[in-house]
């Protein structure tokens, strides 16, 4: 695993993996969306239940992406690994997009269920904070001209902000909230009917592979841009 921290080895390995990852993502998204559109309406939620197949995977990937970004930041700060800094920087915009998608679809789902697009409860508020953390990390990295200082400051904020992840997860247990409790990772097994569980599982896997595909593409692009910048500087010299 540490051998992949070398940019050249990462480029070689990711170049071989990326096409297969992209194909798997496309297949799973196609299958997942087909299954999601074919499920029967829920007896309480009606057709609004279909929003779940977009909202829940987006929320899962948003939290996973932040955890990976914080881990990359820690590796970069401790071992001074350049590839870890690239991983942290490129994960932030992707995580922000998935978080925004989770917030928007959650609001659309909440309107017919709760009678409001938004309520200031623990789960929603802490998830909104996750979006602000992503945007803050991106803004901080762009505000500091010195790249080394920018990466260090962004990394520290990413690590500190990771405390929000358990708050999001346990918020439905700690506070009274309109948001439903855990339905998947719970004692006694999932409480969702199999007809909804399988499409949800496929979509969650598809979203996960989509994130990794886009993450690898962004990392490869950043590495190539840095190489091009070095070549321009050495060429002028």
pLDDT in tens, 153-171: 999 999 999 999 999 989 8
CA gap 61, 210 in Å, rounded: 9
* DSSP secondary structure, 28-52, as one string: HHHHHHHHHHHSPPBTTTBGGGGGH
- For the cut 60, the answer to whether the pLDDT of residue 216 exceeds it is yes
Query: pTM for this structure?
Result: 0.93
Q: Which range is least confidently modeled, 17-26, 45-54, 128-137?
A: 45-54
pLDDT in tens, 224-237: 999 998 888 887 65
- For the cut 50, the answer to whether the pLDDT of residue 42 exceeds it is yes
With cut-offs at 50, 70 and 90, classify the pLDDT of residue 6. confident
Q: Which range is least confidently modeled, 89-93, 117-121, 125-129, 185-189?
A: 185-189
Domain boundaries, given as residue ranges, for the chain = 16-39+50-179+190-236
Percent of the chain's residues with pLDDT above 70: 91
pLDDT given at position 1 = 47
């Amino acid at each position: 695993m540490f051998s992949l921290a070398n940019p050249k080895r990462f480029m070689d390995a990711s170049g071989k993996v990326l096409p297969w990852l992209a194909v798997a993502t496309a297949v799973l998204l196609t299958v997942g969306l087909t299954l999601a559109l074919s499920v029967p309406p829920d007896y309480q939620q009606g057709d609004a239940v279909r929003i779940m197949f977009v909202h829940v995977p987006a929320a899962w990937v948003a939290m996973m992406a932040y955890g990976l970004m914080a881990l990359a930041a820690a590796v970069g700060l401790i071992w001074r690994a350049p590839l870890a800094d690239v991983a942290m920087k490129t994960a932030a915009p992707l995580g922000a997009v998935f978080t925004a998608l989770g917030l928007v679809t959650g609001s659309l789902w909440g309107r017919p269920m709760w009678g409001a697009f938004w309520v200031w409860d623990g789960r929603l508020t802490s998830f909104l904070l996750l979006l602000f953390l992503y945007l803050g990390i991106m803004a901080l990295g762009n505000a500091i001209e010195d790249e080394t200082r920018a990466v260090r400051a962004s990394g520290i904020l990413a690590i500190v902000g990771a405390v929000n992840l358990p708050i999001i997860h346990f918020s439905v247990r700690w506070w009274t909230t309109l948001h439903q409790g855990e339905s998947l990772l719970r004692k006694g097994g999932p409480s969702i009917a199999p007809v909804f569980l399988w499409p949800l599982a496929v979509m969650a896997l598809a979203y996960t592979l989509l994130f990794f595909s886009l993450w690898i593409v962004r990392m490869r692009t950043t590495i190539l841009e840095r190489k091009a910048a070095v070549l321009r500087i050495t060429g002028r010299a």
